[in-house]
Structures are given as structure tokens and as C-alpha cells.
């Protein structure tokens, strides 16, 4: 699977978990096996939320970069790339949160998402 990753730092939607402001969002290719064992390809979007992601080693390190530097620029681009790579890998490996999925589905049906 091709690894086109989009990172967004501006005009971010509220965190789906707590409705707070995220530091960034990332979209990346994602796939899973359906009940027939067939691969389903799609895109996954994740937010780096200061509240919801607290305690995750990769997220804590990435949040520390924003706490010190406040923004991404030429001076910290290499460090940002390493930290975002570690955070995305951690998020890729995370399991589906059924409760959150139901909550987001309800928000979508009510046009709140």
C-alpha cells in the first residue's frame, strides 16, 4: 500500500473524543480484512489531541515539540518528521475503539461531524 500521508496544522476540526482543539491531524492509507477475508482499502484520519493522547509515549514526545517550539519550521522539521513517524506508527497499530466509533456515527447522523 502506498504511504501518502497528509498532515494538517491549520483549520482543524474539534477532537472527536473530547471536542477540544487538536494540535494536528493526519490522514493515511489504511486497510483491513472484511468478514469474507477480503482486503478493504481506505483512509484513516487521526488527531493529535493534548487531552485524549496524553500518556502515549509517541504522542507525548510530539506534544513536547509543540510545547517548546510552538510551530513546525525549518529549524525543527527533521525532529518533527521523526516524531510524527513514531506517532503515526503507534496510531496505525492501535485497535478500533467501538465506543468512539458509535459516538462518531451518531454525530455524523445528526450532522454534527
Q: Which long-range contacts (CB under 8 A, 24 or more apart) does 37-42 make?
A: 41/1
In a domain, 26, yes or no: yes
Q: Give the model confidence (pLDDT) of 41-58 as tens digits.
A: 988 899 999 998 888 899
111 falls within a domain:
no
Q: Which three cell numbers stand for residue 93?
A: 497499530
Q: What local confidence, expressed as pLDDT, does residue 96 receive?
A: 62
Domain range for residue 57?
6-106
Residue of higher predicted confidence among 49 and 17: 49
pLDDT-derived band of residue 1, with 50, 70 and 90 as boundaries? Answer: very low
Domain annotation covers residue 112: no
Indicate whether 25 belongs to any domain: yes
111: left (phi over 0), alpha (psi -120 to 50) or beta: left
Does the pLDDT of residue 15 top 70, yes or no?
yes
| Structural domains counted in the chain | 1
* pLDDT of 29 strictly over 80: yes
What's the pLDDT band for 111 if we cut at 50, 70, 90?
A: confident
pLDDT at 27: 92
Strand 24-33 with 39-48, pairing? antiparallel
Three-state secondary-structure class, residue 64 = helix
Range from 18-22, 74-78, 109-113 that averages highest in pLDDT: 18-22
Q: What is the pTM of this model?
A: 0.71
Amino acid at each position: 500500500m502506498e504511504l501518502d500521508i497528509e498532515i494538517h496544522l491549520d483549520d482543524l476540526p474539534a477532537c472527536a473524543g473530547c471536542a477540544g482543539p487538536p494540535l494536528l491531524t493526519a490522514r493515511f492509507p489504511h486497510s483491513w480484512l472484511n468478514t469474507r477475508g477480503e482486503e478493504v482499502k481506505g483512509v484513516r484520519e487521526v488527531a493529535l489531541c493534548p487531552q485524549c493522547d496524553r500518556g502515549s509515549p509517541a504522542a507525548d514526545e510530539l506534544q513536547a515539540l509543540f510545547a517548546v517550539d510552538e510551530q513546525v519550521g525549518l529549524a525543527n522539521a527533521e525532529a518533527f518528521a521523526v516524531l510524527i513517524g513514531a506517532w503515526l506508527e503507534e496510531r496505525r497499530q492501535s485497535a478500533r475503539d467501538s465506543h468512539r466509533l458509535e459516538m462518531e456515527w451518531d454525530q455524523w447522523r445528526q450532522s454534527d461531524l
